[in-house]
């Protein structure tokens, strides 16, 4: 009887430990889905809301950067590659964006690296990379 009780207690402890990881995974999925929707709907002003404040302080986003994005409409968002940290604390996503330039009526294809990290203090996934660079040439 004592052995059965210990096995049940161990199972409960292990399941309690995995619950936060499940919540963290769920929040990652929700955050990445919201971020993709923000880009697809061309809500470029909202992109900085996903960025970690410390990262943003070291790498400020100017109004010119945001205004430059407003000259485009995202026509396609394609996830190309995902690399996850072994400990689950971060994920890097390589995304291909097809963007229609509203003034020249031309499409531009750019690669965008999203670096996401889990913030323990804020209990949320935060972006540690900048805005898509629409000035890059292929």
| pLDDT, averaged across the chain | 88
Does the pLDDT at position 16 exceed 90? Answer: no
Lowest mean pLDDT among 7-11, 15-19, 132-136: 15-19
Q: How many CB atoms lie within 10 A of CB 75?
A: 13
Per-residue confidence at 7, pLDDT binned at 50, 70, 90? low
**How high is the pLDDT of residue 22?**
87
Per-residue confidence at 10, pLDDT binned at 50, 70, 90? low
Contact 125, 28 (CB under 8 A): yes
> What are 117-135's pLDDT values in tens digits?
999 999 999 999 999 998 8
**How high is the pLDDT of residue 135?**
85
- Indicate the SS3 state at residue 78: strand
Tell me which residue has tokens 């996850």. Answer: 84
Q: pTM for this structure? A: 0.81
Contact 38, 51 (CB under 8 A): no
Does the pLDDT at position 94 exceed 70? Answer: yes
d(CA 81, CA 84) in angstroms, rounded, equals 10
């Amino acid at each position: 009887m004592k052995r059965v009780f210990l096995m049940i207690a161990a199972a409960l402890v292990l399941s309690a430990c995995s619950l936060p990881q499940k919540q963290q995974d769920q929040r990652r999925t929700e955050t990445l889905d919201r971020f993709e929707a923000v880009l697809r709907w061309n809500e470029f002003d909202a992109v900085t809301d996903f960025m970690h404040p410390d990262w943003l302080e070291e790498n400020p986003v100017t109004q010119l950067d945001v205004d430059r994005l407003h000259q485009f409409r995202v026509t396609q968002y394609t996830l190309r590659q995902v690399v996850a940290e072994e400990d689950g604390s971060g994920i890097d996503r390589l995304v291909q964006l097809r963007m229609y330039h509203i003034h020249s009526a031309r499409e531009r294809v750019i690669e965008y690296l999203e670096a996401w990290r889990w913030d323990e203090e804020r209990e949320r996934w935060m972006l540690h990379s900048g805005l898509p660079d629409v000035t890059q040439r292929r």
